[in-house]
Structure 1
């Protein structure tokens, strides 16, 4: 008789890892192993994994469809893969937030450009508002348009953008330089071009290169003034409140990586601040950071029982988990199954 699919480890049911990895491909196996299994079991259920309350919404369905399309593009031979370090570098820039957001939207293809609107049956002229010779998309507006070429070459960067075939190639070149000052100037220039485009369309202002370059200088000056006025950050002293006499306080937390790998940790102290127990557990798998926090709570409570503590106080830094514990209704989701087990414990 074959062994059951789940096996008991302490009080937690786990997957047959060897069997899952044998039957499924690595990516599917990793997703399956990230599904938490409860102690008390129960009938199989259909869950919508994109929300914590398991309720389907059109917004979440649209986001899932976009993710599937992005994955399909990434698997194609012509797709440009942008690593996490690219986005970290982009968002850590000294440029103004609106400049960084505009660049992010342009790279992701989220700007409401005319060609994109026309393809979605919006009644607009898809031509470029500056030159009217080609359709307006990210590559043309920021790279190939003669007006954009003049701006880039006359700016402090003195860039000949004709050497780049796409907008993303320009950004990959900026990434390779890894120069924060150049990055901030590129982001400010992209925003100034986008702003001039909107003024041309909606306010019928005439495009001039001097106005765009002047706007870039204004944005750069705003950054300088902001940095001067910003007070140096002072780290707040770490505070820890002692529990009442006879109570053991458990502080717990979870580490979550974007690939789903998760680590759990906790420390228990008495009313005098003395450490009564400390532990960590790794590796685990989770589908989301919130689910990892819930797994850490369940693991901490089980340890408290195993250690013989009965009067305890649990402390977390996850407000969303705290609100889930306070909620009276029980949703059918991966998270709620763990919350119910914590209440049972």
Structure 2
């Protein structure tokens, strides 16, 4: 195109295309207005790029390629009444962003793929949070049969959990998943183990404290706390007694 005169370059088109294609292109009318070309983002009416519109565009493309609508699953996940760090963990797991050894291997990281806890099977998120014997002991204390099928894929398992259990149980299950992953990291990076009882206590206290913090009528004054009630708030020991504070993961 001859930019200065707003005309098609007829000779250039005839050199590049066949007669038929060249005639079709040359028949396209050009605008009489002269404006400089500029970049336009079609994800926003303003034409300006935004992270939000890019996220929704990628999500639509992914759902279109997979041929399934996962919007209901995501709505259920984001509406869970659990701490945000629990939702963040689940989100990373479902997107395949959690650095288990099997995931690191897929990213071409040179590392053995065995579970750091049992050193017997390839480490996957499903193994860590559901099928591993330690995890099964945790679920046993909660009296929850979370092995709802032979899925072996965490996001499919999580979807089944969301469909099977009520909100209270789903809250406990997902928060325990967070505690299990936290325990795994503490073992890998700090060489510290944890007992089944301590892990369950941590998870339930985390969920309880977060739930209480959402209740505007909850009394958070120190007078409302009783010694030994399981709260993570520090309470003065009784007279002539010694109080020992410990980390449940130590």
Equivalent in 169, 172, 176 of residue 182 of structure 1: 169
Match of 2:80 in 1: 93
- Tell me the CA shift for residue 95 of structure 1: 0.8
Q: In structure 2, do the counterparts of structure 1 residues 131 and 179 end up closer, same or farther at CA, with 3 Å as the change threshold?
A: same
- Tell me the CA shift for residue 61 of structure 1: 9.8
Match of 1:105 in 2: 92
Q: In structure 2, do the counterparts of structure 1 residues 82 and 168 end up closer, same or farther at CA, with 3 Å as the change threshold?
A: farther
Q: Which has the higher strand share?
A: 1
Q: Distance in 2 between matches of 1:62 and 1:152?
A: 35
- Tell me the CA shift for residue 218 of structure 1: 1.5
Q: Distance in 2 between matches of 1:152 and 1:54?
A: 46
Q: Distance in 2 between matches of 1:144 and 1:125?
A: 20
Equivalent in 117, 121, 131 of residue 118 of structure 2: 131
Moved more, 93-102 or 113-122: 113-122
RMSD over equivalenced CA pairs, Å: 3.6
Q: Distance in 2 between matches of 1:83 and 1:199?
A: 33
Match of 1:195 in 2: 182
- Tell me the CA shift for residue 179 of structure 1: 1.8
Q: In structure 2, do the counterparts of structure 1 residues 54 and 225 end up closer, same or farther at CA, with 3 Å as the change threshold?
A: closer
Q: Is residue 225 from structure 1 mapped to residue 212 from structure 2 by the alignment?
A: yes
List alignment gaps of at least 5 residues for structure 1.
1-39, 76-80, 232-345
Moved more, 81-90 or 103-112: 81-90
Match of 2:245 in 1: none
Equivalent in 173, 193, 199 of residue 206 of structure 1: 193
Moved more, 170-179 or 190-199: 170-179
Equivalent in 111, 133, 147 of residue 146 of structure 1: 133
- Name the SS for the 1:176 alignment partner: helix
Mapped contact 1:174–1:182 kept (Cα < 8 A): no
Match of 2:71 in 1: 84
CA deviation vs aligned residue, 1:13-54 (integer Å, no higher than 9, x gap): xxxxxxxxxxxxxxxxxxxxxxxxxxx796887655568546
Q: Distance in 1 between matches of 2:164 and 2:155?
A: 14
Match of 2:203 in 1: 216
Aligned residues: 183
Q: In structure 2, do the counterparts of structure 1 residues 97 and 65 end up closer, same or farther at CA, with 3 Å as the change threshold?
A: closer
Mapped contact 2:101–2:113 kept (Cα < 8 A): yes
The equivalences for 1:253-268 within 5 A come to none
- Name the SS for the 2:215 alignment partner: helix
Q: Which has the higher contact order (CA 8 A, sep 6+)?
A: 1
Q: Larger Cα Rg: Structure 1 or Structure 2?
A: 2
Match of 1:119 in 2: 106
CA deviation vs aligned residue, 1:240-259 (integer Å, no higher than 9, x gap): xxxxxxxxxxxxxxxxxxxx
The equivalences for 1:216-295 within 5 A come to 216-229=203-216
Q: Distance in 2 between matches of 1:134 and 1:67?
A: 36
Q: Distance in 2 between matches of 1:66 and 1:118?
A: 25
